[in-house]
Amino acid sequence: MKIGFIGLGIMGRPMSLNLLKAGYELVVFDHHEDTIAELVAAGAKAANSGREIAQECDTIITMLPNSPHVRAAVLGEDGVVEGAKEGTCVIDMSSIDPTESKAIGAELAKKNMDMMDCPVSGGEPKAIDGTLSVMCGGKKELFDKYYEMLMVMAGSVVYVGELGSGNVAKLANQMVVAINIAAVSEALTFAKKAGTDPELVYQAIRGGLAGSTVMDAKAPMMLDGNYKPGFRVELHIKDLTNALNAAHAISAPAPLTAQLMETMQFLRAEGCEKEDHASIVKFYEKLSGASVVKNT
């Protein structure tokens, strides 16, 4: 299977490398020439636009920052739609507004093309080792067709429902992750303020009901003062913006998500938008006047 891949950023680059390692033929496009060069060295073929990719591939993956970027890559000038044949399938693995997934899919349907929305969770580490969680929306027969290919990049690939459902699941995921990081931050700063070692508190509670994948991923970063991004604050702001917009459109109250949006706006105001979202703890450290970082 020859696959087109558009978007070779922090997630797309390792995802595409895993496809190459699995033996898939890949044609890639990105605006960063150094990343394209790396993929070409690994065995991919370079293209100059989405249109060129679509002329060679009838399966095209997009992994881009947000809804406008996906729309431009697929429907814009020199985009996929300009070079695509009938029956081409666009698999958007970006995290975007589910209503936009449906809108782009409707435009492609006019050209007898298909679309799936298959956003991912797990951040850069899981993209590198090929254990991402993939949430899929679209026709069930397309999910069945592409399941094995998606599993090359993933530890789990789950069908959620019609087009747009994948991004609904991803936004729900991002709501839970943000709120969970905040809960860990609040608990560790509470422990520090109470005079108890937050690292020992973490070790004491991680095996019980309070334990979670988020806690195990982010508490050690907080305790080390390590905010090297696996998933940047600015990207989580984007996801929560989409979540709140989607929630408001269907009158689904999301008060905790709204609170976390304001917490992340504080981080952006503090110049932390490029840091990992574990830096949510900085908000609680500011409020409490206590740092959870070891030896402080």
Contact (CB, 8 A) for 94 and 65: yes
Write the CB contacts of 241 (distance below 8 Å, at least 6 apart in sequence): 261
Strands 2-6 and 25-29: parallel
238 annotated active-site: no
Residue count (the chain): 296
Nearest to 13 by CA among 33, 36, 31: 36
Taking the C-alpha atoms of residue 76 and residue 45, their distance in angstroms, rounded to an integer, is 22
Contact (CB, 8 A) for 12 and 63: yes
Nearest to 7 by CA among 65, 59, 46: 65
Q: Which of 126, 170, 238, 282 is catalytic?
A: 170
Residues assigned a catalytic role: 170
